[in-house]
Amino acid sequence: MKKIILDTDPGIDDAMAIFTAMAHPQIELLGLTTTFGNVSVEQATTNALSLVEMAGLDIPVAKGVGTPWVKELNPFPDFVHGVDGFGNVNLPAPKGQPIAQSAAQYIVEQVNACPGEITLVAVGPLGNLAAALQIDPSIAEKVKEVVLMGGVIAADGNVSPVAEANILSDPHAADKVMAAAWSVVIVGLDVTHQVVLNNALFAKIAKENTKVGQFMADAAQFYIDFYSSIRDIDGCYAHDVSAVAYVVDSSMFGTIEGEVCVATDGVAIGQTIMSRFGIPYPLTFWQGRPKQKACMQVDSTKLVALFEDAMTSDYWN
């Protein structure tokens, strides 16, 4: 079993990733930490508690950062995830409460308790991971790996020609994460734009998963409607679940590596820039940084099958 803490801004595709992590036999989901991003951190925390409750699980939810490290908070993309973050399905309020610790404190405590064992899976802006590094820089040596949905190296961005939403939401935090002495795997738009989840799949999930299937299909419909309106696809992209899939089976991805800097201002703000050509440049921003990995190819058929199997497994019935 691979122990993970999932840092999230739920979020419709976050829900897909969280449910997949809950159900997959190779994953031990220790807890959820929440951040602003698709919605406010308050709404993200409520949504995380709702997902845990819906699944009948008893795992901690720790509330995290509500604003970026430096830049202004952007308006929340309610046209992508709905005002409630779940496509305006408007779930009843969850009964549970977040734990007293902040997300960053929870991450530090768990990583120090299980050095070398925990993978941080981040599928939202990266303020909680940056805050955890600030509390205890030594966690960089104790985290097994950071696998993050975010960024784009060579493909089309989704919030600018060169930037992806999670990184743009907090570029200063993202740059700290890329510069730290831990192993980061960027599961970015280079691969998630190759993985489409269609209506027929969600209809199957609604039919076979009697616990959370109908909710997932209803929320996904809002996401599909958005993507069908701006991209020529019959479905929605499997952004966040691709990060969980990497933890389960990294062999379905092809990767490159290099030092990574994140642009924190100007026209390219939010761009993840990897020095990947082995050329010693006169500009030294990348010098002294660790090489990080970025996923550039993916077996999308295998990834969709992993999601489908997790969402229709006996775990839910």
- Catalytic positions, written as ranges: 9, 239
Considering the complex, what minimum distance in angstroms separates the CB of residue 215 from ligand RIB?
Answer: 17
Shorter beta-carbon distance to ligand RIB: residue 158 or 275: 158
The rounded distance, in Å, linking the Cα atoms of 147 and 204 is 29
Residues in the chain: 317
Report the residue from 123, 143, 295, 296 that binds ligand RIB according to the rule CB under 6 A.
123
Residues 20-49, mask of contacts with ligand RIB (x by CB under 6 A):
-----------------xx-----------
The rounded distance, in Å, linking the Cα atoms of 242 and 232 is 20
Shorter beta-carbon distance to Ca ion: residue 1 or 230: 230
The rounded distance, in Å, linking the Cα atoms of 203 and 213 is 9
SS (H, E, C) 242-261: HHHHHHHCHHHEEEEEEEEE
Please identify, among the stretches 8-16, 23-31, 85-93, 172-180, the one whose residues bind ligand RIB according to the rule CB under 6 A: 8-16
Shorter beta-carbon distance to ligand RIB: residue 151 or 286: 151
Considering the complex, what minimum distance in angstroms separates the CB of residue 125 from Ca ion?
Answer: 9
E strand or H helix at 77, and its extent? none
Shorter beta-carbon distance to ligand RIB: residue 108 or 235: 235
| 264 interacts with, out of Ca ion, ligand RIB, none, CB within 5 to 8 A per kind | none
Q: CA neighbours within 13 Å on the CB side: how many for 166?
A: 30
Shorter beta-carbon distance to ligand RIB: residue 78 or 141: 78
The rounded distance, in Å, linking the Cα atoms of 315 and 291 is 38
**Residue with the CB atom nearest ligand RIB in the bound state:** 165
| 158 interacts with, out of Ca ion, ligand RIB, none, CB within 5 to 8 A per kind | ligand RIB
Residues 65-104, mask of contacts with ligand RIB (x by CB under 6 A):
----------------------------------------
137-176 binders of ligand RIB (CB under 6 A): 149, 158, 164-166
Q: Which residues are bridge partners to 261 per DSSP?
A: 273
236 contacts ligand RIB (rule: CB under 6 A)? no
Sign for the pseudo-dihedral over CA of 145, 148, 151, 155: positive
Distances in Å between the Cα of 222 and the Cα atoms of 10, 108, 259 are 14, 35, 37
Cβ proximity of 110 and 118 under 8 Å: yes
Distances in Å between the Cα of 165 and the Cα atoms of 19, 74, 174, 256 are 22, 10, 11, 21
Q: Give which of 127, 216, 138 is closest to 174, Cα–Cα.
A: 127
Tokens 């039919």, located at residue: 207
Report the residue from 31, 87, 124, 157 that binds Ca ion according to the rule CB under 5 A.
124
- Contact residues for ligand RIB (CB under 6 A)? 9, 11, 13-14, 37-38, 123-124, 149, 158, 164-166, 239-240
Using CB under 5 A as the criterion, which residues of the chain lie in contact with Ca ion when the complex forms?
A: 9, 11, 14, 123-124, 240
